[in-house]
């Protein structure tokens, strides 16, 4: 049995994915590619929300491990996600896709505040909604923000775009015997400590039975494929 196609999805992008080959900052070419793929799926009637990380600009956890106050570091990381959100909004609007950025930290001059009902209304009208600033709380990752927002807007699935084509039994770069796993349960991910999302995000999805699909964002056309039910990447869901 193949996967279903989805009508309302939350796409989670890592900040690093926006950096392209330069390793930091924002690569306009990558933005343009992602935007054109999003345009294609939105034009086909899919309602799409986005959460973007901030790791290409600033990583709160990394800074706190070097002695910075964790709360301050996390707030800086959240602001980095807003920079990425505005960059992607610009790329989408250049391609004619109506887009709204909603921030969990109030900054009315650059983004709407996060208001659930308003976000849902935007989606119903065919607008892409980008959720910036994580959950607005320190100690929570953008993965957890993605899980939380996906549930709040009643998304059917979280699509986690990464640089690898799914979840492997070990790091494929270091271990030649690593094999790709196409289906996983939430419990497997938590027990084995697999690099899908952090434990808080996985637990939230498990408690609310929200599936997660990890797929390779760098291959052109994959966003469309995964939304329309092609079996690419790894799906994490409850025990069937």
Calculate mean pLDDT across residues 163-189: 91
Instruction: Identify any residues that bridge with 128 across adjacent strands, giving them in sequence order.
Output: 99
| Alpha helix ranges (H) inside 125-184 | 142-152
Q: For residue 1, what pLDDT is reported?
A: 52
User: C-alpha angle with apex 87: 39 to 216, nearest 5 degrees?
Assistant: 55
- pLDDT > 90 in the chain, percent: 89
- Segment among 7-16, 164-173, 175-184 with least mean pLDDT: 164-173
Per-residue pLDDT reduced to its tens digit, 91-129:
999 999 999 999 999 999 999 999 999 999 999 999 999
Calculate the CA 192 to chain-centre distance. Answer: 22
pTM: 0.95
Q: Are 179 and 231 a contacting pair, CB within 8 Å?
A: no
Question: Comparing C-alpha atoms, which of 150, 163, 148 is closest to residue 48?
Answer: 150
Q: Measured between alpha carbons, how far is 182 from 108 in angstroms, rounded to an integer? A: 42
Instruction: Identify any residues that bridge with 99 across adjacent strands, giving them in sequence order.
Output: 128
Domains of the chain by start residue, with CATH: 8-237 (3.40.1160.10)
Q: For residue 173, what pLDDT is reported?
A: 84
Q: Which residues contact 192 (CB under 8 A, 6 or more apart)?
A: none
């Amino acid at each position: 049995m193949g996967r279903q196609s989805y009508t309302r999805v939350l796409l989670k992008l890592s900040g690093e994915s926006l950096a392209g080959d330069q390793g930091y900052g924002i690569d306009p070419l990558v933005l343009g590619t992602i935007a054109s793929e999003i345009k294609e799926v939105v034009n086909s009637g899919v309602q799409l929300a986005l959460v973007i990380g901030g790791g290409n600009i600033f990583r709160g956890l990394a800074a706190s491990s070097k002695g910075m106050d964790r709360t301050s570091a996390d707030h800086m990381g959240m602001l980095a996600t807003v920079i990425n959100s505005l960059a992607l909004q610009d790329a989408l609007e250049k391609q004619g896709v109506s887009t709204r950025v909603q921030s969990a930290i109030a900054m009315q001059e650059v983004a709407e505040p996060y208001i659930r009902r308003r976000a849902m209304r935007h989606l119903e009208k065919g607008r892409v909604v980008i959720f910036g600033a994580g959950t607005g709380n320190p100690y929570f990752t953008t993965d957890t923000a993605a899980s939380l927002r996906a549930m709040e807007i009643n998304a059917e699935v979280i699509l986690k775009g990464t640089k690898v084509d799914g979840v492997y039994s070990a790091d494929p770069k270091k271990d030649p015997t690593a094999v790709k796993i196409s289906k996983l349960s939430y419990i497997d991910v938590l027990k084995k400590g697999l690099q899908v999302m952090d434990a808080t995000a996985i637990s939230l999805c498990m408690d609310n039975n929200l599936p997660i699909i990890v797929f390779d964002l760098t291959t052109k056309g994959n966003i469309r494929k995964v939304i329309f039910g092609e079996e690419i990447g790894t799906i994490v869901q409850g025990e069937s």
